[in-house]
Structure 1
Amino acid sequence: MSGRWLLRRTGLILYTLLVVSVLVFGITQVLPADAATMLLGENATAEQLAAVRDRLGLNDPVWVQYWRWLSGVLVGDFGISMRTGLPVLPQILDALARSLLLAALSIGTMLVIALPLGILAAVRRGRVADLVVSLVSYLGVSLPEFVTATLAILLFADVLGWLPATGYVPLAEDPGRALLHLVLPVATVSLILVAHVSRMVRSELVDALHTDYVRAARLKGLPERTVLRRHALRNALLPTITIVALDVGYVLGGIIVVEEIFAIPGIGRTLIVAVQNRDLPVIQAGALVMAATYCVMNFLADLTYAALDKRIQYA
């Protein structure tokens, strides 16, 4: 891995974030309703609305507003929330931390379950184990998040009473209760991720088991377990890394329904509230942070590629 590649990749990430910032800022300018009206209400007078627009700089040209916002972002100032009057960055980082905790637990649970299932289905291809894993995968893919979450709440919270239905407890406040409240959300998200990843692992491992280098390893007399672990599985996991990296972005921004049902104040739910209240600084900061997370995860996926397969060289 060369320094030129790292420099080029870093430049690509920065360019991507610049494009995203332009798109997000442009979209927020054409959202319905007016920020001043959202702040003061529909009964505000024209003079009051004009004063607020002037204070927020909404009367300035769009390019001036964009540059003012971007120059603040470059020094870590994402502005002040129009809804709460508090700095945006701490609010976004707190929401991101909650979503990252949910993502880490969900992806960790998924890997523990999906990898063995995918391997079992590939090794037992066409047998009962393969059919069972395929059935579980189809169920996970076909059931929407709100259906899985609702069924989980009805069964484990209402009927059995084993787990709390909704709510969020900070991990630093009470780790035991915090993890207890996260069991159902993590299970809901993990079911979807397991369905995707187990099928990917199965498909890639089946292909790898029929390659020439695996046949050569078997002809050398290596034990089947060694052939599977050192040769087939190592190469089959490479495409799975990309899926896992994309799943992190999905968990952060694509499970708004899960965060809403279980009342988790994550980044997705924060953005929904910001859109409803026309809170432009929070919308812009949240979208930019989520885009940065996608970029970083894809960058880490490339680094993991190189670590797993020494043949991959980034020049």
Structure 2
Amino acid sequence: MKNKVSVLVGQRVVLGLLTLMVIAVLIFFGTQLLPGDLAHTILGHQASPEAVAALNRELNLDRPATERFAGWVMDLFHGDLGKSLANGTPIIDLIGERLGNTFFLAGLAAMISVPISVVLGVTSVINKGGWLDRGISWLTLSLISLPDFFLGYTLIFVFSVTLGWLPNLSSVYTGMDFWSRITAVALPCAALVLIVSPHMIRMTRVAILNVLGSPYVEMGYLKGLSSSRVVGIHALANAISPIITVIVLNMAYLVVGVVIIEVVFVYPGIGQLMVDSVSKRDVPVVQACALIFGTTYIVMNIIADTLAMIGNPRIRYSR
């Protein structure tokens, strides 16, 4: 089993590295297609042609794109993400705290959404066809249909503007105490929970329903076991592989897809930094943020595949 899983994981890692190379190419050459001229953006449109040419030489923009890409990749291998064009700050320092803020928000949302989703998914199966099952299905379909920004603005309107319970802007800073930080991120965290939980609830329900017709489930009912015991213990244990996959992929979304929520709540995370850098045409920062998002999604996909293979009895007990 260990050898087979190791081979499959190794294949996923190789494919992940190849995918990351393709993403790096798309990121670099995609940012070259951004409208406008970077030198004119920095110096202003009244700048002389000589000043523009000098800045292009300083930024190496006068070199061919393929040569600049090769230099960028070599710097990445040495752990150098470059410097921000807006203020000259090393990008690794610029994104450090921002990335920590994003992971804090995503981790908090994950700790809330995962147990809620599994419990509601199991509850829906136990009460299959009942009013509780229909209510959960209706709620999850409704939430899936709503855009992310709409959920965010709705939470702001209800809990900040109308009730005045929570701040509408999620301002966090270094040295902020834990409970103040929790209060500041309550609304964006709630928005993320409402975004990812419906997918995990529905996947949990479908995965368990797929194994309810198995002989061991029928044997459990014949032994007189309760529905909650059969579904919550026996069926859930054998449906865990697809459930783990969808949970881990939604955890990846909490990091990669957090951009919209960070912009809505003006949260100082890496998504907000990326949007600000696009408006400033700070191309190196945009490239670094996009590469971090791509790497995170690939790593989480590899973790999801690995956990799914380990949780698959056909792989675990194959000879």
Question: Would you say same fold, with TM above 0.5?
Answer: yes
Q: Deviations over 1:183-234 (max 9, x none)?
A: 1111111112121111111122122212233223434555544432342112
> Structure 1 stretch 205-214 or stretch 305-314: which is displaced more?
305-314
Tell me, which stretches of 5 or more residues in structure 2 are unaligned? Answer: none
Aligned-partner residue type, residue 162 of structure 2: V
Query: What residue in structure 1 maps to residue 304 of structure 2?
Result: 301
Mapped pair 1:234 → 2:221: no
* Contact persistence 1:140–1:194 (CA under 8 A): no
Distance in 2, matches of 1:301 and 1:45, equals: 54
Q: Which residue matches 1:263?
A: 266
Residue 80 (1) aligns with residue 83 (2):
yes
Map 1:155-194; keep pairs closer than 5 Å.
155-170=158-173, 172-194=175-197
- Bigger mean CA deviation after superposition, 301-310 or 34-43: 301-310
- Give the Cα separation in 1 of the matches to 2:96 and 2:214: 46
Distance in 1 between the 2:115 and 2:29 partners?
42
Q: 1:10 aligned to 9, 13, 35, which one?
A: 13
**1:224-267 superposed Cα distances (whole Å, 9 cap, x missing partner):** 44432342112323222222222233222323221112111222
> Which residue of the other structure, out of 31, 45, 51, is the alignment partner of 2:34?
31
Q: Is the 8 A contact 2:172 2:268 kept in 1?
A: no
Matched ranges for 1:86-105 at <5 A: 86-105=89-108
- Normalising by structure 1, we get a TM-score of 0.92
Note if 1:121 corresponds to 2:97: no
2:73 corresponds to which of 70, 74, 83? 70
Contact 2:56 2:62 in 1 (8 A): yes
Pair 1:276-2:261 in alignment: no
Deviations 1:34-82 (A, max 9, x none): 2212211211111111011001111111111011110000010011111
- 1:134-161 CA-partner distances (Å, limit 9, x unpaired): 1211221122222222222222222222
**Greater Cα shift, 125-134 or 228-237:** 228-237
Instruction: Look up the equivalent residue of 1:158 and give its one-letter code.
Output: V
Partner Cα distance (2:263, 2:257) in 1: 12
Q: Is the 1:197–1:240 Cα contact (8 Å) retained in structure 2? A: yes
Distance 1:307 1:6 in 2: 10
Paired letter, 1:290: F
Contact 1:171 1:178 in 2 (8 A): no
Gaps of 5+ in 1: none
Q: Distance in 2 between matches of 1:152 and 1:273?
A: 23
The whole-number CA distance in structure 2 between the counterparts of 1:98 and 1:133 is 32
SS for the counterpart of 2:170 is: coil
Q: Counterpart of 1:65 in structure 2: which amino acid?
A: R
Q: 1:133 aligns with which of 121, 136, 139?
A: 136
**2: CA distance, partners of 1:176 / 1:200:** 33
1:152 partnered with 2:155: yes
Give the Cα separation in 2 of the matches to 1:256 and 1:68: 28
Tell me the C-alpha RMSD between the 2 structures: 2.1
SS in 2 for 1:9: helix
Q: Shift of residue 307 of structure 1?
A: 4.1
Query: For 1:153 and 1:29, how far apart are their aligned partners in 2?
Result: 36
8 Å Cα contact 1:171-1:179 kept in structure 2: no
